Amino acid sequence: MKVLRSVLIAFSFLFVVSSAHAQSAVQATIPFNFVAGNRVLPAGQYVLGSKSLTSGNLISIRDLDEPITSLALSNPCSVSKAPKTSKLVFHRIGNEYFLYQIWVEGETTGRQFPMSKLEVQMAKNEPQTEEVIVAALLMR
């Protein structure tokens, strides 16, 4: 009985600690239509977030202008010097924009999105890719 009580106390402690971990998000005004995951999203104001933007694989992308919420899988990426400001990085191929990375100010670890099927196909036909950076505001 004492073992069961100890296990329940340990799980309760872990639940409280994980619940207390603040969610983080960035907000940005994206002035162009873009692809996130395999979904095309319209230009607008967005909040991108997860349990932790530096470690969460599933990123929620919520349009503040329309009732649109999308989810996209991401992978960790890192830089040696932390960025001074939060930002979203897009790949531009032709007239299409693809969400590529999320960086949070002061963090050396960011999130990177795998290339969508459309991005892979377009990159084959148009090998020149331009990076476009959109400033973001960190929300805690």
Listed by start position, the domains of the chain span 22-139
Residue 124's φ and ψ, nearest 5 degrees, are -70, -40
- Summarize pLDDT for 48-57 with one digit per residue, the tens: 998 766 666 8
CA-based torsion, 39, 45, 62, 80: positive or negative: positive
Q: Return the HEC string of 22-52.
A: CCEEEEEEECCCEEECCEEECCEEEEEEECC
Residue 39's φ and ψ, nearest 5 degrees, are -120, 135
- Summarize pLDDT for 6-36 with one digit per residue, the tens: 333 333 333 333 333 345 899 999 999 999 9
Q: Is 110 left (phi over 0), alpha (psi -120 to 50) or beta?
A: beta
- Summarize pLDDT for 74-127 with one digit per residue, the tens: 999 999 999 999 999 999 999 999 999 999 999 999 999 999 999 999 999 987
